[in-house]
Amino acid sequence: MNLKEWIFTTDHKRVGILYLIGSIAAFGVAGIMALLMRAELSAIGPTITADPTTYNVWLYAHGAIMILGFQIPALTGFFANYCVPLMIGAKDVAFPRVNALSVWLFYVGVILALLTFFIPDPPDVMWTGYPPYSTITAGNTALYSLTVLILGFASIIGGVNFLTTVAFMRAPGLGWGKLNVFVWCILGAFVMQLIFVPVLGSAVTLISLDKYLGTHFFDPAMGGDVLTYQNLFWFYSHPAVYVIFLPFIGVVFEIIATFARNPVFNYKAAVYGGIGGIVLISGEVWIHHLYVSGMPDWLRIGQMVSTLLISVPVGLLVISLVGTLYKGAISFETPMLYALGVVFLFLIGGLTGIPLAITSLTVNLSETYYVVGHFHYVMAVAGTFAIFGGVYYWFPKMSGRMYNELWGKIGFWITFVGVNIVFWTMMDIGARIGLPRRYYDYAQFPQAADAQHLMTIGAVILGVGFVIALLNWIIGAAKGPKAGDNPWGSPSLEWTTVSPPPHGNWPSPPSVSEEWSPYAHGKR
Amino acid sequence: MLDDKRTVGALLALAAAGPALAEKTIPTAARIIDPAAGWDHLWRDVLIDITVIGIIFALITAYLIWKYRRRPDNQQGSAPRLSAAAAIGWVVIPSFVFMADDFYLAANGWQLWNTFREVPADRLEVQLESGMYSWDYTYPNGVQTQNELKVPAGKPVLLRMTSRDTIHNHYIPDFRVKEDSMPGRITYLWFYPQKPGTHVVTCTEYCGVMHSYMAGQVVVLPPAEYQAWYEAEGAKVKKAAAPAATLSKTPA
Amino acid sequence: MSHGGEAVHHGHGGHDEHEAWGTSVWPFVISFGVLALAVAFMLQFVYHKPFAAVIALGLGIPMILGGVAGWVSEAMGRGEGLSYGAMGWFILAEAMIFMSFFAAYWFMRLDVALVWPPAGTVPLPQVLPLVMTAVLVASSLTIHHAEHLMHAGDKRGFVRWLVVTILLGATFLGMSAYEWTHLIHDGFTIATNAFGTIFFSVTGLHGSHVVVGLAIFVAGLVPALMGNISEGFWRTASLYWHFVDIIWFFVVSQVYYW
Ligand code: HEA
Ligand code: HEA
Ligand code: CUA
Ligand SMILES: [Cu+2]
């Protein structure tokens, strides 16, 4: 294998795999941070570090890297790159060099994030970076700003690329109504990235301007306002959760349709109602992150209602997912286990968002472990399961080889048990005791000690499951049995080429007929 | 088989609306509505609501997974084609059911929110300035305390809050209230202590290295005892004429 | 398994005769140039090591410039130049950046300020901005006219009006610089108070867009003088210029006359 051909590649599949490698490495690092945090929290008082700042830096790195270095790049970088051109029958993306630029900017962003562990004054501003703390801390806030800026910029240029690709490079005969649900999800995610990332970029730039260049955006003593930052930040970061959600639910759609050997139930409802609805509403709900910061009532009531109304498009998506099982011929290979796991765990995570959306209930729940439990279920668990399931699903396509089915299932079940131990307990102590998040120590909440100890054990269990999956991929890619071009028997276009596909994907571009659809099983 | 689906849909509708019909008993008898009690009540309702929805969806999914598992290896799915009417029905009906539940939740949530915001006129008003890392209270008569808020039982307490450095959040889990305090803005919260006792106050907005140690307590005293303390401290403040106030320090 | 079938058609060609993998070193070079810039920023402003910062800049800027130059020459004529549609998305993103700065401004002014402008603000010039507006609007009209001539096939006329546009843009920048120096001389800087922060950051952000627009024009002027005029390029470039012009109306109305 020629290393130069990989590093300087402009091919969408190799760019995608570079994204995968980078984001899984980021997941490993941020996961290790999680284990360190869990170890620290396993008992009251200092356990593995006596310095709260050390813990705060772990937490900062964990949150920022998991979201910006793992999930968004894995979903809008790896899956979008690997699958979208193959699914629409294109030879490559519209701007292959721009694509290569975006993956290397992503690596630069990750390198910056990793510098956290090597500089004397690491950032300790949490992934939200609220001023005034972020502008007065002795930590290196610039590192935070620059990491976010560069990762955001990488994502924007990827977005322009994919919107152009899907608009102009579909195979002959492949109309908008025949796109894979996953492709629609990517379109929705990138539209949101394009609109909202610039706002995040501005927000983090402003804190660095305030801290290092003497401006006063957030300094009340000079006429600035501390809450501006929070509004700008969440104006992006709420939509960002749907930038994560849409692609991951898109992956789950592909897996479930394939293993149930059924077309997606009520495709149009899922695409126009579900995905369209989410993109439409996502921009006017950010205030639900500021319910306890004294926002005025007139802003609050509208956004509470629209936050609750998100359950309508999301509900349509869930109905389509579950409906796809109806009269199916379901089999349970590892990707399908992960996908079904997502359905159940996302239900828990999504529904526990409902109390948070209600402005009066949040008064007791906000900033507690209940919130941490909510978003780990919906993002860290459902999202990560979808990513792992998707990698298993396209593994034979990417590598031409098969992973080990038994170990795949073992890994899944271990993680499944682990996540529920950890994150259910979080929601419980958050709602019942009110244990606040971002606490290095919790002496004022002795009732939480047992639960914390249990969660530490659970975290080790779930980590073992993830490591099994990683090893399964590495071993499978190196010496798994040959998989064939279409091991799952899916009619979707990516399975019509050889595994792994060559540069250009098909010897000559495919064209599809009237009866074809990516979900027309058994009609070939 | 379409009928099958219709029944499922109807069941769903009922179940989602079920909790919505549960009677409302936010206490109105008392002169003062205690937001904490209202919170507990709404929390229970919402918990039932989302649990029912979750269980319905989970059971249907589990049933479909079990019922339609693949028997012969080459079996294909046999989902019927949706008619246009069914496709629209599967959008409109669930949407209406979900929206009904959403609006029900929003209405109740908003009502409770108003009790969180509308402070009874007969109240004790205390100023709070937070800082890294302490809660500094100032009473109407100039008495100042740090990390300990003494209040009389049976009287609503209003805190007007600001901060001298970073953002903090004054959280009293037992009274179900929290609100940010920040430089440049004034925020408030109120709670209704009814029985003597002590309650944890803790900071729930990341404010710096010692964030997790920024704790104090609310001490609810019998009214007479409170009054005695208040007057004694007030007298000391007067005597000390200088603005440097007594800080009644208590171990947090 | 079969790769064809009835529903999906492929032209016929063997699977083994695939092309070589596409590669380009320039995206890699540019990305690490960006890393060097980020490091330079931290060396200067966080660690106050100007010498090391200059070294990092000296690494980063050539990498970026060289990368862009290499990229352009490699991609020339392969349809990867500026594209009209992509510019539309890009402008959407840009507009959101300006929106963020304005939102910050509105928050301070409408939500928290007791008195506005805050202490320390000096009176802003009232006539100059009007002249600047006139100049910028004129430049928007001249580039539009130039584009019109280009479509009509009048290359000399196009170049002439393009040069006029560039001169007008430069005049605008000159006036902006003049105004800045005077205000700073009067003691009103970006650090004076929140209004100074907003004033200089918003006009500066806009000014940087004027600079970028002018750079695009000048970069295209060289080939244009030699008679090499790409319609797609100029259509995209003038779209960007109109955007810069429209944003200025917001800047003027919000910052100078409110
Ligand atoms: C992928 C990520 C993801 C997703 C999809 C969601 C989805 C949702 N989130 Fe979550 N959220 C986060 C990630 C995510 N969230 C993160 C990271 C944070 C914390 C950030 C931080 O502070 O660090 C957060 C925090 C957060 C808050 C702020 C809490 C606080 O700090 O005080 C709120 C408040 O409203 C909220 C609400 C919701 C809601 C209503 C949804 C909805 O979209 C859920 C919709 C889904 C369902 C409802 C289930 C399926 C639907 C049905 C079965 C139909 C029927 C249902 C009904 C009629 C109710 N979330
Ligand atoms: C996608 C996002 C994501 C994911 C996947 C996770 C995963 C996990 N998270 Fe994370 N978490 C966040 C996003 C995420 N988290 C965010 C945004 C916050 C808030 C941050 C903030 O407050 O600012 C947070 C906060 C947070 C807290 C709150 C701390 C506090 O408030 O004080 C805790 C506490 O237990 C926690 C635990 C965990 C655990 C145990 C996992 C586990 O699931 C992790 C399991 C993974 C592993 C164990 C790694 C296994 C792999 C290897 C070991 C292989 C190594 C290989 C290589 C290096 C190549 N998380
Ligand atoms: Cu004060 Cu956290
Ligand atoms: Cu949100």
We report the CATH number of the domain holding residue C117 as 1.20.120.80
With H, G, I as helix, E, B as strand and everything else as coil, classify residue B203. strand
- Residue B216 β-bridge partners: B201
Instruction: Give me the pLDDT at residue B50, please.
Output: 95
Q: Is C107 left (phi over 0), alpha (psi -120 to 50) or beta?
A: alpha
Q: Look at C18 and A5 and tell me if their CB atoms are within 8 Å.
A: no
Say how far apart CA A273 and CA A88 lie, in whole Å.
Answer: 22
Total domains in chain C come to 2
Instruction: Give me the pLDDT at residue A444, please.
Output: 92
Residues C43 and C100 grouped into a single domain:
no
Say how far apart CA A402 and CA A400 lie, in whole Å.
Answer: 7
Facing A327 at nearest CB: one of B42, B58, B78: B78
Pairing of strands B157-163, B124-131: parallel
**Nearby residues of C233 by Cβ (< 8 Å), 6 or more positions away:** C81, C82, C220
Closest protein CA for atom 60 of ligand 1: A353
Residues C71 and C99 grouped into a single domain:
no
ipTM of the complex: 0.90
Q: Look at A524 and C31 and tell me if their CB atoms are within 8 Å.
A: no
Q: At residue A323, what is the residue type?
A: G
Size of interface A-C (CB pairs under 8 A): 226
Q: Look at A223 and C113 and tell me if their CB atoms are within 8 Å.
A: yes
- pLDDT of A313-349, one tens digit each? 999 999 999 999 998 889 999 999 999 999 999 999 9
Residues C101 and C43 grouped into a single domain:
no
Closest protein CA for atom 36 of ligand 1: A353
Residues C162 and C241 grouped into a single domain:
yes
- Residue A290 β-bridge partners: none
Residues C232, C238, C242, C245, CA torsion sign: positive
Asked if residue A500 has a cis previous peptide bond (ω within 30° of 0), the answer is yes
* Distance between Cα A281 and ligand 4 center (Å): 11
Q: Look at A199 and C99 and tell me if their CB atoms are within 8 Å.
A: yes
Last residue of a domain, one of C75, C107, C138: C75
User: A215 with C190: CB under 8 angstroms?
Assistant: yes
Last residue of a domain, one of C19, C52, C75: C75
* Distance between Cα A157 and ligand 1 center (Å): 28
Residues C62 and C119 grouped into a single domain:
no
Q: Which atom of ligand 1 is nearest to the CA of A304?
A: 35
Residues C43 and C139 grouped into a single domain:
no
Residues C159 and C246 grouped into a single domain:
yes
Residues C65 and C177 grouped into a single domain:
no
Q: Look at A266 and B87 and tell me if their CB atoms are within 8 Å.
A: yes
Q: Which atom of ligand 1 is nearest to the CA of A366?
A: 32
Facing A360 at nearest CB: one of B53, B109, B187: B109
Cβ burial of B78 (10 Å; 0-12, 13-18, 19+) is: middle
Among the listed residues B49, B50, B109, C100, the one whose alpha carbon sits nearest the alpha carbon of residue A303: B109
**Nearby residues of B8 by Cβ (< 8 Å), 6 or more positions away:** B60
- Residue B248 β-bridge partners: B145
User: A147 with A165: CB under 8 angstroms?
Assistant: no
- Residue B136 β-bridge partners: B129, B146
Task: Assign A125 a pLDDT band (cuts: 50, 70, 90).
Answer: very high
- pLDDT of B236-246, one tens digit each? 888 875 554 44
Task: Assign B10 a pLDDT band (cuts: 50, 70, 90).
Answer: very low
Run of H or E including B157: strand B157-163
**Nearby residues of C4 by Cβ (< 8 Å), 6 or more positions away:** A496, C10
Facing B210 at nearest CB: one of A52, A261, A304: A52
- Which tokens belong to B187? 């925020």
Q: What is the pTM of this model?
A: 0.91
Q: How far is CA C118 from the centre of its chain?
A: 31
Say how far apart CA C12 and CA A210 lie, in whole Å.
Answer: 62
Instruction: Give me the pLDDT at residue C77, please.
Output: 54
Q: Which atom of ligand 3 is nearest to the CA of B132?
A: 1
Structural domain harbouring C104: 83-256
The domain spans of chain B are 22-69+84-122, 123-239
- Residue C69 phi/psi, 5-degree rounding, is -65, -45
User: A354 with A314: CB under 8 angstroms?
Assistant: no
Instruction: Write down the mean pLDDT value for chain B.
Output: 84
User: B135 with B147: CB under 8 angstroms?
Assistant: yes
Alpha helix locations (H) across C76-230? 84-106, 128-152, 155-185, 194-225
Burial letters for B209-234: b for 16+ Cβ neighbours within 10 Å, e otherwise?
bebbbbbbbbbbbeeeebeebbeebe
Instruction: Write down the mean pLDDT value for chain A.
Output: 92
- pLDDT of B180-199, one tens digit each? 999 988 999 999 999 999 99
Residues C66 and C160 grouped into a single domain:
no
- CB atoms within 5 A of ion ligand 4 belong to A 238
Average pLDDT over residues A446-473: 94
Asked if residue B133 has a cis previous peptide bond (ω within 30° of 0), the answer is yes
Chain A residues within an 8 Å CB radius of B99: 309, 312
Say how far apart CA A274 and CA C77 lie, in whole Å.
Answer: 41
Return averaged pLDDT per consecutive 10 residues of chain C, 258 residues in all. Answer: 50 48 86 93 91 92 87 63 71 89 86 76 83 90 89 86 91 90 85 85 90 85 79 84 90 83
CA distances from residue C66 to A154, C55, C213 in whole angstroms, order as listed: 20, 17, 20
Q: Which residue of B has its CA nearest to A329?
A: B70
Which of C18, C19, C21, C49 best probes binding to A when mutated, by most A CB atoms within 10 angstroms?
A: C21
Q: Which atom of ligand 3 is nearest to the CA of B214?
A: 1
Q: Specify the CATH class of B123-239 in words.
A: mainly beta
Q: Which residue of C has its CA nearest to A215?
A: C191
Instruction: Give me the pLDDT at residue B241, please.
Output: 59
Cβ burial of C171 (10 Å; 0-12, 13-18, 19+) is: middle
> What residue ranges line ligand 2, CB within 6 angstroms?
A 25, 28-29, 31-32, 34-35, 37-38, 59, 62-63, 66-67, 70-71, 126-128, 372, 376, 379-380, 383-384, 422, 437-439, 459, 462-463, 466-467, 470
Last residue of a domain, one of C75, C102, C122: C75
- Which tokens belong to A111? 């390198």
Q: Look at A224 and B176 and tell me if their CB atoms are within 8 Å.
A: no
Q: Which domains does chain A have, with CATH numbers?
A: 11-252 (1.20.210.10), 362-482 (no CATH)
- Residue C8 β-bridge partners: A512
Most confident region among A109-118, A152-161, B6-15, C227-236 by mean pLDDT? A109-118
Instruction: Give me the pLDDT at residue A168, please.
Output: 84
Residues C69 and C127 grouped into a single domain:
no
With H, G, I as helix, E, B as strand and everything else as coil, classify residue A401. strand
Q: Which ligand is nearest to the CA of A441?
A: 2
